[in-house]
Chain A
């Protein structure tokens, strides 16, 4: 019997056979006995990468869930007799565990809370994974009707498989989808919560939206921790936020009774502030450590220079300190988001990577006092405008732009004397010309030509009528449009493979050609037959589309014959 490996925080020491999770030896970080699942007694295990539940007297896991699959966890409210923990997965399935230690309800609650905290920590660590594929695919289909239609046409009729569809065709749409946008924190987010006073009672009403809550959590991480601890079982949301607004974060005069919730936050914030100020050693001209202390007034010659009077009034000093803390909090929240985004991008590029440690803190460059003074003295705006480097254009053969390619004709050079004579001859001929209209053309031939001409015009006008879209019944017209749309997409992917320089493009070209042939067989032929039989239509209705497919086919054949030589 092998021993169990324990990590930190194991509440119960037991020697049991170490369960093998899918053939690997994993460290168990937390084990809780007397946990019921679906009315069976068993134990709950938390390991490095997953949570599992095993029934008593069994050595296989009935439930084993990776942390990356867990979307969120919930606990049963305070008043309920059953102490439960529920895990919700990404695909909306749930697992509910019931803590039933015989040692009493309090112990159950302690165990449950311990489990919940550990689970939350482990889930957070695992969260940095590539974005959920399924959600993204759904989003793409929702946003692009054309893609949705194409999906139905191609995958539903089994012309290409689903995987191929997402790999080949949807890639371009994925590139065109806009980025997921995050929202920054406005500097005035607390000030914008304009409380409304109810004149009669003296009650003040604050309207809080989820965005404001998010902004508060991002700026003050201590408050976020408190919120997750207290809500919903110790305090309701409304109560928490009322206490928040009464605390030092929002009002100058704090109520001593509500101190207990946020006083720890105040201590945490002060510690953070001292740490930040101490690390901002970048600027030798700016010394932040003692800005809240009272400075003696320095007297120079006859003029009194007043020192920073922040410390003169304790209230003012405290307020200014709180303002500064809020600003620092906002800036740090932004920097944190940026780091998260960077790590997300890295994770998306290598989905199987694991972080191998925390990142190093950034090393700040020390600027010497001299460099800093120089910076203060020079202004970029006052320097002269810098010359922008631009590419120059020289046109060598201008006449090629102005005269199109002409045939090479020999030009006869004439002397000016000859030009004059020719000019006089031209003038004479024009002035002596007598028009002879009745004999300029044969009347019968002219009449026949005119008849033929008007006949052709009439014919072309009516044939355009047959071909015009007014003649098509509505439903057929819509279906034709859809067929054109899907075929157009396929052809677009086909043409994008040319010229096929890389082997992947060549592969894709072969596949697209096959897809086109199959599409032609399965969709276009039946459509044409249906159009002719059901709607009694002209058989030329799909000629153009077939022509496009033929041209694509010819191009493919040409390329193949040229390449296989």
Chain B
């Protein structure tokens, strides 16, 4: 009764209906490896995302980010090798180092959810060492019980609530369980979080939960679910970039101190960052310009007078947001006369990776696909423009 006589040519109905055969895209390259084609797909997706990012949007560069990690029983599953817990923690380690690199004036903290309670593993701090130690401890902790989103958000709220209004407050939840066991109504917590102007994003490892989606849309964050460990790394690294500032954020002038490293008339002092362990009494370190307290490392927030201490290179790192590198023009490689990439001097081959080349709009140099990604994600400047004296001297951007 339900049989179609049209399909007599041995095709399945689902195949004829325009079903995308995604497995055919993955092929082996010349050396017989599949991995390059998979990474290529991921890179293309990355490039697409870069294009979507708009310029001339005010960003929240001074960020205070809490990472809430699920340590419930669901994290001991082994679908991410070796277990979800170990895989996620390793990715978080790299994330924290990169975060500290790219966001020098931001702070990060860590909270873990286990046994229906939330435990703060590390408070908000500028120093990545403490976070890395907390992660090492979590690597050995067992995963037990059920997570509680309400308790974790309450703990994050109690710290983020007292921060000045011009900072960007964010929470990143990494969630693997399919349930949450809360002591009360989570709606009230969501309301409080929204009033405090905190942006909550969720990365799921198993599936998308309605409550996670609701939290992230209400607070203006993002919700995504990862498919495998490479995808998870990408999703977490998306949060390295500062998010667009909400319209409710104050914009004020912030007082910043620039300590000199060489102090000729400095007095020997104990550093304020290591008072718990016996610090040495010497003149090595940076002295706060306002209250002369000593610190070993910058960037730091002066514990005595509250002044933010940075060096000029730290602030200069955020220039790439003010003057982003313009997108390159994509052209098929047959139309271009150049035979080598200007960035890596690799000759353009006939393989699928070199089907398109990328041309800088200002200096008209030609770059390959990998160089394009590298320049836009890591270097943030075009070597063609920098090596061209007429362009680089007059700073025309």
Contact of B183 among A337, A399, A481 (CB under 8 A): A337
Q: Are A544 and B183 in contact (CB under 8 A)?
A: no
B176: chain A residues at CB < 8 Å are none
Looking at the assembled complex, report how far the CB atom of A150 sits from the nearest CB atom of chain B, in whole angstroms. 12
Q: Are B185 and A390 in contact (CB under 8 A)?
A: no
Contact of B281 among A179, A469, A488 (CB under 8 A): A469
The stretch of B75-83, B269-277, B332-340, B354-362 that contacts the partner chain = B269-277
Q: Are A468 and B280 in contact (CB under 8 A)?
A: yes
A480: chain B residues at CB < 8 Å are 270, 281
B162: chain A residues at CB < 8 Å are 175-176
- Please tell me if B227 contacts chain A, counting CB pairs below 8 Å: no
Contact of A338 among B155, B158, B188, B292 (CB under 8 A): B188
Q: A178-B158, A184-B116, A398-B323 are in contact. Are A468 and B282 (CB under 8 A)?
A: yes
Q: How far is the CA of A477 from the CA of B290 in the complex (A)?
A: 26
Q: How far is the CA of A337 from the CA of B51 in the complex (A)?
A: 48
Looking at the assembled complex, report how far the CB atom of A537 sits from the nearest CB atom of chain B, in whole angstroms. 10
Secondary structure type dominating chain A contacts: helix
Interface 1/0s, chain B 281-300, versus A by CB < 8 A? 11100000011111000000
Q: Are A495 and B304 in contact (CB under 8 A)?
A: yes
B59: chain A residues at CB < 8 Å are 393
Looking at the assembled complex, report how far the CB atom of B111 sits from the nearest CB atom of chain A, in whole angstroms. 10
A496: chain B residues at CB < 8 Å are 306
Q: How far is the CA of A337 from the CA of B118 in the complex (A)?
A: 18
Q: Are B185 and A334 in contact (CB under 8 A)?
A: yes
A177: chain B residues at CB < 8 Å are 158
The stretch of A265-273, A406-414, A546-554 that contacts the partner chain = A546-554
Q: Are A548 and B293 in contact (CB under 8 A)?
A: yes
Q: How far is the CA of A552 from the CA of B292 in the complex (A)?
A: 10
Q: How far is the CA of A484 from the CA of B279 in the complex (A)?
A: 11
Among A182, A395, A545, A551, chain B packs the most CB atoms within 10 A around the CB of A182
Q: How far is the CA of A478 from the CA of B278 in the complex (A)?
A: 7
- Please tell me if A514 contacts chain B, counting CB pairs below 8 Å: no
- Which residues, 108 to 130 on B, are CB-close (under 8 Å) to A? 116-118, 120
Q: How far is the CA of A485 from the CA of B271 in the complex (A)?
A: 10
Q: Are A548 and B291 in contact (CB under 8 A)?
A: yes
Interface 1/0s, chain A 372-400, versus B by CB < 8 A? 00000000000000001111111100110
Q: Are A547 and B303 in contact (CB under 8 A)?
A: no
- Which residues, 81 to 126 on B, are CB-close (under 8 Å) to A? 116-118, 120
Looking at the assembled complex, report how far the CB atom of B262 sits from the nearest CB atom of chain A, in whole angstroms. 12
- Please tell me if B58 contacts chain A, counting CB pairs below 8 Å: yes
Q: How far is the CA of A393 from the CA of B291 in the complex (A)?
A: 34
Q: How far is the CA of A179 from the CA of B181 in the complex (A)?
A: 17
- Please tell me if B211 contacts chain A, counting CB pairs below 8 Å: no
Q: Are B319 and A401 in contact (CB under 8 A)?
A: yes
B292: chain A residues at CB < 8 Å are 544, 547-548, 551
- Please tell me if B267 contacts chain A, counting CB pairs below 8 Å: yes
Q: How far is the CA of A391 from the CA of B278 in the complex (A)?
A: 47
Q: A390-B58, A468-B280 are in contact. Are A551 and B183 (CB under 8 A)?
A: no
Interface 1/0s, chain A 176-193, versus B by CB < 8 A? 111101111111000000
The stretch of B12-20, B42-50, B132-140, B146-154 that contacts the partner chain = B146-154
Q: How far is the CA of A334 from the CA of B58 in the complex (A)?
A: 41
- Please tell me if A534 contacts chain B, counting CB pairs below 8 Å: no
Q: How far is the CA of A185 from the CA of B179 in the complex (A)?
A: 12
Q: How far is the CA of A182 from the CA of B397 in the complex (A)?
A: 55
- Please tell me if A364 contacts chain B, counting CB pairs below 8 Å: no
B319: chain A residues at CB < 8 Å are 401
- Please tell me if A491 contacts chain B, counting CB pairs below 8 Å: yes
- Which residues, 227 to 267 on B, are CB-close (under 8 Å) to A? 244-247, 249, 267
Looking at the assembled complex, report how far the CB atom of B55 sits from the nearest CB atom of chain A, in whole angstroms. 9
- Please tell me if A341 contacts chain B, counting CB pairs below 8 Å: yes
Q: Are B322 and A395 in contact (CB under 8 A)?
A: yes
Q: A183-B117, A390-B58, A399-B395 are in contact. Are A547 and B267 (CB under 8 A)?
A: yes
A551: chain B residues at CB < 8 Å are 290-292
- Please tell me if A306 contacts chain B, counting CB pairs below 8 Å: no
Count of CB-CB pairs between chains A and B under 8 Å: 159
Q: How far is the CA of A480 from the CA of B319 in the complex (A)?
A: 42
Looking at the assembled complex, report how far the CB atom of B211 sits from the nearest CB atom of chain A, in whole angstroms. 13
Q: Are A393 and B56 in contact (CB under 8 A)?
A: yes
B158: chain A residues at CB < 8 Å are 175-179
Looking at the assembled complex, report how far the CB atom of A206 sits from the nearest CB atom of chain B, in whole angstroms. 20
A541: chain B residues at CB < 8 Å are 268, 281
Q: Which of chain A's residues has its CB closest to B187's CB?
A: A338
Looking at the assembled complex, report how far the CB atom of A443 sits from the nearest CB atom of chain B, in whole angstroms. 30
Contact of A469 among B184, B220, B280, B306 (CB under 8 A): B280
Q: Are B280 and A334 in contact (CB under 8 A)?
A: no
A547: chain B residues at CB < 8 Å are 267, 292
Q: Are A544 and B268 in contact (CB under 8 A)?
A: yes
Q: A334-B185, A338-B185, A488-B304 are in contact. Are A392 and B278 (CB under 8 A)?
A: no
B120: chain A residues at CB < 8 Å are 178
Q: How far is the CA of A480 from the CA of B275 in the complex (A)?
A: 10
Looking at the assembled complex, report how far the CB atom of B386 sits from the nearest CB atom of chain A, in whole angstroms. 13
Q: A183-B183, A548-B291 are in contact. Are A481 and B116 (CB under 8 A)?
A: no
- Please tell me if B40 contacts chain A, counting CB pairs below 8 Å: no
Q: Are B291 and A334 in contact (CB under 8 A)?
A: no
Contact of A481 among B118, B249, B279, B291 (CB under 8 A): B279
- Please tell me if B390 contacts chain A, counting CB pairs below 8 Å: no
Looking at the assembled complex, report how far the CB atom of B60 sits from the nearest CB atom of chain A, in whole angstroms. 10
Looking at the assembled complex, report how far the CB atom of B96 sits from the nearest CB atom of chain A, in whole angstroms. 22
Q: How far is the CA of A282 from the CA of B387 in the complex (A)?
A: 70
Interface 1/0s, chain A 527-565, versus B by CB < 8 A? 000000000000011011101100110000000000000
B146: chain A residues at CB < 8 Å are 186
- Please tell me if B34 contacts chain A, counting CB pairs below 8 Å: no
B151: chain A residues at CB < 8 Å are 181-182
B395: chain A residues at CB < 8 Å are 398-399, 402-403
Q: Are B267 and A392 in contact (CB under 8 A)?
A: no
Q: A388-B220, A477-B278 are in contact. Are A183 and B116 (CB under 8 A)?
A: yes
Looking at the assembled complex, report how far the CB atom of A82 sits from the nearest CB atom of chain B, in whole angstroms. 41
Q: Are A388 and B282 in contact (CB under 8 A)?
A: no
A316: chain B residues at CB < 8 Å are none
Q: How far is the CA of A219 from the CA of B154 in the complex (A)?
A: 24
A388: chain B residues at CB < 8 Å are 220, 244
- Please tell me if A467 contacts chain B, counting CB pairs below 8 Å: yes
Q: How far is the CA of A72 from the CA of B184 in the complex (A)?
A: 26
Q: Are A337 and B184 in contact (CB under 8 A)?
A: yes
Looking at the assembled complex, report how far the CB atom of A264 sits from the nearest CB atom of chain B, in whole angstroms. 29
- Please tell me if A492 contacts chain B, counting CB pairs below 8 Å: yes
- Please tell me if A238 contacts chain B, counting CB pairs below 8 Å: no
Looking at the assembled complex, report how far the CB atom of A179 sits from the nearest CB atom of chain B, in whole angstroms. 5
Q: How far is the CA of A551 from the CA of B307 in the complex (A)?
A: 15
- Please tell me if A470 contacts chain B, counting CB pairs below 8 Å: yes
Q: Are A484 and B306 in contact (CB under 8 A)?
A: no
Looking at the assembled complex, report how far the CB atom of A210 sits from the nearest CB atom of chain B, in whole angstroms. 14
Q: A176-B159, A548-B292 are in contact. Are A334 and B57 (CB under 8 A)?
A: no
Looking at the assembled complex, report how far the CB atom of A12 sits from the nearest CB atom of chain B, in whole angstroms. 45
Q: How far is the CA of A401 from the CA of B319 in the complex (A)?
A: 9
Q: Which of chain B's residues has its CB closest to A478's CB?
A: B278
Q: How far is the CA of A394 from the CA of B57 in the complex (A)?
A: 8
Q: Are A544 and B267 in contact (CB under 8 A)?
A: yes
Q: How far is the CA of A176 from the CA of B109 in the complex (A)?
A: 14
Q: Are B275 and A488 in contact (CB under 8 A)?
A: yes
Interface 1/0s, chain A 430-462, versus B by CB < 8 A? 000000000000000000000000000000000
Question: Can you pick out 30 interface pairs between chain A and chain B where the beta carbons lie within 8 Å of each other?
Answer: A175-B162, A176-B158, A176-B162, A178-B158, A179-B155, A182-B183, A186-B116, A186-B181, A334-B182, A335-B184, A341-B184, A390-B58, A391-B247, A392-B58, A393-B57, A398-B395, A468-B280, A468-B281, A469-B278, A469-B281, A469-B282, A480-B270, A484-B272, A485-B275, A491-B304, A491-B305, A495-B304, A496-B306, A541-B268, A544-B267
- Using A393-B59, A481-B270, A491-B305 as known contacts, list a sample of 11 further A-B pairs with CB atoms less than 8 Å apart, ordered by residue number in A: A175-B158, A176-B159, A178-B155, A182-B183, A186-B181, A391-B58, A393-B56, A398-B323, A467-B283, A495-B306, A551-B292
